[in-house]
Amino acid sequence: MKYRYVVIILACFNLLFGYAQRVESLLENNWKFVKGEVSGAQSVTFDDTDWESVTVPHDWAIYGPFDRNNDLQNVTIVQNLEKKASLKTGRTGGLPYIGIGWYRTSFNVPDGKRATLVFDGAMSEARIYVNGAEVCFWPYGYNSFFCDVTEFLHTDGKKNTLAVRLENKPQSSRWYPGAGLYRNVHLLITEEIHVPVWGTQITTPHVNDDFASVCLHTKVEGAEQKELTVVTDIISPDSVVVTSKMTKGYHNERSLVQNFIVENPYLWSPESPKLYVAVSKIYCEGKHVDTYCTRFGIRSIEYIAEKGFYLNGQHRKFQGVCNHHDLGPLGAAVNKSALRYQLSLLKDMGCDAIRTSHNMPAPELVELCDEMGFMMMIEPFDEWDIAKCENGYHRYFNEWAEKDMVNMLRHYRNNPSVVMWSIGNEVPTQCSPEGYKVAKFLQDICHREDPTRPVTCGMDQVDCVLKNGFAAMLDIPGINYRTSRYKEAYEKLPQGLILGSETASTVSSRGVYKLPAVENFSKLYSDHQCSSYDLEACTWSNIPDVDFALADDYPWTIGQFVWTGFDYLGEPSPYDKDSWPNHSSMFGIIDLASIPKDRYYLYRSVWNKEEHTLHVLPHWNWKGYEGKNVPVFVYTSYPSAELFINGKSFGRKEKSQSSLKERYRLTWYNAIYEPGEVKVVAYDEEGNIVDEKTVRTSGQSHHIELVPSRTVLSADGKDLVYITLRIVDEQGNLCPLDNSLVTFDVKGAGKFRASANGDPTCLDAFHLPKMHVFNGMLTLIIQSGYKSGVIEVVARSKGLKSGKLDLLVK
């Protein structure tokens, strides 16, 4: 065929074709908000001038204040092996998320058009009103939903009033859920005849290097029995129309089907995340009525018994992490720039997969995983019909589970990053005699809506699920922890595969090291921290080395999803039993301030096959330990290394199969502390020196160093830069024990957005321009404005030379 070139980024915009049948806009600005119940707030004539002006996405609870009384719960956490109730503090972050919030704004729709409001997520129990009438109710705060509001619109050109009432009940979550319109709200305007929300489905029934078959199903609404024509162009990652098809037919509630052959396709993978776009123009009786774009990828997935997971015919194991939805100091309010930064850190670590635990993700996360190359396990629920939380999802499961599943599946079934669905996490129903029937109900919905991907479930009660048929019924059995049961489960179950659906739960505080450096489970310390020697876990879990070995030693294990990639607000295990002020997790490989912990480099040394890793711990400021043992650990992709302290060799170590920890770490328990310099020299397989790293005893704190993630921002009012703030001595060495208070002054073409230090006990407010450093470091987040210019950032602390930085916005 004759190729014609187009700009792929513009392919889904109306201007490309000169048509305006479909217009989608974000309702971001001009919102009014108030916390608390307000009578009559849905009315067109209601006066909201005294309400707060906000921008959506908006999380009203993240501003605090932190308080022990915000989320006290006297509960038994069965999935943590607890047998009786105890008082829990900080379980949902110690933030005031409970209560009612109202939002109001207005919008215009031209006469004769259809209008749909699409909510990417609203926390929670959303009641949507247009011009005073309730147009829809959606209880689950994590799911996307939409409301056709056409019949409620003004027809005389007047603005339409949109009001949203949200309510978070006490004990409705077991981590920080956020509060408010924390994800985007879209206004979709179409003709009467149009492709509905999530109205297409693309599959690739055959994929190889030579060609791929692509099948597109397109649903059209409003056509009744009229003749339709669909003209679709498939546009390649090179912005080339590689194939086109025109299909005619009569619409009778079934989708119109088009089949294509793409020659020499670009195959989507984490290493090469190439994306295509199908641009479909809809004609009714010769009139162009709609244009709909579907982004997709061409790739094959196979799960083969005894052998494992194959992507595009290549065997691989998931190197994944679980993540909650909050963005640390930004709260639950979604920001694509923040998500991109998080994913870039995980990418450098060698992570290639994300589990959306334990809820539907923000659409922006899935889009970025498509673009940046992360496979995804998308998961909807943390509980089914049996409660974990008093006011949890079980209240709505019977009526709403299928509706929620259908929305999730139709929303994300065209995304190539999605390679597996999960139907739940550690649900109490797994031990019910009828539990397998509930699991089958949910799995069948997945198979009906998307027959191309398998279904798993995160199971932690191995005894139950092996006996009652629950695990045997699933496409892929997913085991949370319980590593000692993997082999037994493999031998008893029919699938011939085991997935580590949730692994590790190793706990650590960045820059904190406890002696002696030995394995501990749920160890408690007076400072409410955990050791970054990465030898501490919870009673139900294990250190990372165990999961590395399971992936390496058994072909029937298909990889793991580590709990968690990032620290998150809430669940401060092991300090969850009346241990205030702890209010954030310690599970993260990366802390709440988006600063990598030592454990990051342990995973990187195993997972990142493209770049070498050489990382040394701990710090070397141990006043009072002179002449005593202070173990030195090295996380490296090199096979061996030698330790020197002030020039004296403490021996050369090689990775060894003789013990678990010696397989993945190099450790010198014989290291003796004396102030000065620790140097590690790395060797390759031939014994050649290839790299070295040095850690020095720091002197007195001298100045503030600012290290930005980048220096140029987009003038879109949303772009973010993450600045790592370090307190260093005169020579530039990090001062690892400094906890100074720092204040920030931001001027010019942007603004201070938030800061965090990664300390799970710190009660400093994220949104105020001041923060204590934690072990010498914190993160400062700056947001661009809408105009080009320069942002001037100054960080000050008493007795230290200030840090200064200029950022360009354009």
pLDDT tens by residue, 21-39: 899 999 999 999 999 999 9
Contact 93, 569 (CB under 8 A): yes
Determine the average pLDDT of the residues in 330-355.
98
Residue type, 76: T
Residue 214, classed as helix, strand or coil, is: strand
Active-site position among 125, 379, 502, 705: 502
Residue 18 has pLDDT above 80, yes or no: no
Residues in the chain: 810
Find, among 704, 302, 284, the residue nearest to 476 by Cα.
302
Report CA torsion sign: 37, 43, 44, 47. Answer: negative
Question: What's the pLDDT band for 78 if we cut at 50, 70, 90?
Answer: confident
- Distance of alpha carbon 47 from alpha carbon 43, whole angstroms: 9
Residue 14 has a pLDDT of 44
Find, among 63, 177, 51, 58, the residue nearest to 119 by Cα.
58
pLDDT in tens, 160-170: 999 999 999 99
- Distance of alpha carbon 805 from alpha carbon 782, whole angstroms: 11
271 is written with which tokens?
A: 């290493």
Which residues, in sequence order, are bridge partners of residue 642?
652, 681
What are the distances in angstroms from CA 504 to CA 240, 427, 541, 643? 45, 19, 6, 28
DSSP single-letter state for residue 156? S
Question: What's the pLDDT band for 135 if we cut at 50, 70, 90?
Answer: very high
Buried b (16+ CB within 10 A) or exposed e, 492-521: ebebebbbbbbbbbbbbbbbbbbeebeebe
Active-site position among 221, 364, 379, 426: 426
What are the distances in angstroms from CA 619 to CA 539, 672, 761? 28, 13, 21
780 is written with which tokens?
A: 């400062």
Phi/psi at 105 (nearest 5 deg)?
-155, -175
Q: Given the DSSP bridges, would you call strands 318-323 and 557-563 parallel, antiparallel or unpaired?
A: parallel
509 is written with which tokens?
A: 């505080």
Residue 566 has a pLDDT of 98
Q: Nearest 5 degrees, angle CA 343-CA 345-CA 348? A: 105
pLDDT in tens, 729-766: 999 999 999 999 999 999 999 999 999 999 999 999 99
DSSP 140-165: -TTS-EEEE-GGGS-SSSPPEEEEEE
611 a catalytic residue: no
Residue 628, classed as helix, strand or coil, is: coil
Find, among 618, 622, 621, 615, the residue nearest to 669 by Cα.
618
Determine the average pLDDT of the residues in 596-625.
98
279 is written with which tokens?
A: 């641009």
Residue 74 has a pLDDT of 85
- Alpha helices, DSSP H, located in 633-697: 660-664
Residues 6+ apart with CB under 8 A from 556: 305, 306, 307, 308, 490, 496, 497, 498
Buried b (16+ CB within 10 A) or exposed e, 755-766: bbbbbbbbebbb
Residue type, 285: E
Contact 105, 48 (CB under 8 A): no
**417, 420, 421, 424: CA torsion to nearest 10:** -120
Determine the average pLDDT of the residues in 34-55.
98
Q: Which helix (H) or strand (E) holds 681?
A: strand 677-683
Contact 593, 329 (CB under 8 A): yes
- Distance of alpha carbon 699 from alpha carbon 738, whole angstroms: 11
DSSP single-letter state for residue 429? G
Angle between helices 544-553 and 598-607 (to 10 degrees): 10
Residue 253 has a pLDDT of 61
Residue 80 has pLDDT above 80, yes or no: no
What are the distances in angstroms from CA 655 to CA 275, 478, 617? 40, 30, 17
Question: What mean pLDDT, rounded, does the chain reach?
Answer: 95
What are the distances in angstroms from CA 176 to CA 92, 94, 326, 388, 420? 4, 8, 8, 15, 26
Phi/psi at 445 (nearest 5 deg)?
-65, -45
Residue type, 571: E
Q: Given the DSSP bridges, would you call strands 803-809 and 712-713 parallel, antiparallel or unpaired?
A: parallel
Residue 252 has a pLDDT of 62
Q: How many C-beta atoms surround the C-beta of residue 45 within 10 A?
A: 7
pLDDT in tens, 420-432: 999 999 999 999 9
Contact 642, 593 (CB under 8 A): no
- Distance of alpha carbon 719 from alpha carbon 753, whole angstroms: 11
- Distance of alpha carbon 151 from alpha carbon 109, whole angstroms: 12
502 a catalytic residue: yes
Phi/psi at 801 (nearest 5 deg)?
-70, 130
Computed over its alpha carbons, how large is the radius of gyration of the chain?
27
Contact 369, 392 (CB under 8 A): no
Residue 804 has pLDDT above 70, yes or no: yes
Residue 99, classed as helix, strand or coil, is: strand
Q: Give the N- to C-terminal CA distance of the chain in Å, as an integer.
A: 41
- pTM across the whole model: 0.96
Residue type, 19: Y
What are the distances in angstroms from CA 574 to CA 88, 419, 503, 530, 760? 11, 33, 16, 9, 11
Residue 6 has pLDDT above 80, yes or no: no
